[in-house]
Amino acid sequence: MAPLFGVSKSAADRILDHLAPLLAISPARRPRKDTVYIVDGTLVPTRDRSIAASGKNYRYSTNLQVVIDANSHLVVAIGTPLPGSRNDCRAFAESGVDRACRGAPVIADGGYQGTGLFIPHRKQRGQTHLSPQQEAENAVHRRARARVEHALSRLKNWKILRDCRLKGTGVHQAMLGIARLHNLALTG
């Protein structure tokens, strides 16, 4: 940022420290009656081991839960970072995004069993196939959930999230700022 605006690195750091909380997305208000949310978790590689855990690929990462509005594709809430070893159903409750989703139907993937969210149909024990209606509902579910996957890919295009070196709440503040910029880009 410093060469881009023609200031020193320390001045850019001070300005970003001051602006980071202002760029963060504001807490969601009570949703309208026709609002539908989509939630998914993503792993962000980080070097701060106090909020990270080693994963399958031996990288330390943190699990961030992201909630978007299904109609506008805007980021509504981002949960507090949890160690990357947490599964999504547990991270959904512990990160605080469940409170942001209260009062609206939420679509999620199969990793959110037992949370009360809308997840795809699964075969029951002894069942060989899903019914044609369940297959059709799963297809609609996949198309709707693709929206959150696209939002996550756009959020993770930012270089700061590829190997986040921020300590403490820095990962959360960076993700909130990127989400605000994402929302600004969508609303023009």
Q: What is the pLDDT of residues 110-158, one digit of tens each?
A: 888 888 899 898 888 888 898 999 899 999 999 999 999 999 888 888 8
In this structure, are residues 12 and 5 in contact, taking their beta carbons and an 8 Å threshold? yes
Sign of torsion over alpha carbons 158, 71, 176, 48: negative
Among the four given CATH numbers 3.30.420.10, 3.60.15.10, 1.10.3720.10, 3.40.50.300, the one describing domain 33-121+128-187: 3.30.420.10
Q: What is the pLDDT of residues 66-116, one digit of tens each?
A: 999 988 888 999 998 888 777 888 889 898 898 888 888 999 998 888 888
| Strand segments (E) across the chain | 37-45, 53-54, 60-69, 75-78, 82-83, 106-107
Q: What is the pLDDT of residues 38-57, one digit of tens each?
A: 999 888 888 777 777 776 66
d(CA 65, CA 150): 14
The confidence score (pLDDT) of residue 67 equals 94
Token code pair at residue 102:
């209260």
d(CA 133, CA 174): 42
Pick the range with the lowest mean pLDDT from 2-11, 71-80, 174-183: 2-11
Q: Domain map of the chain by residue range?
A: 33-121+128-187
Token code pair at residue 13:
């750091």
Residue 30: pLDDT band (50, 70, 90) is low
The confidence score (pLDDT) of residue 28 equals 54
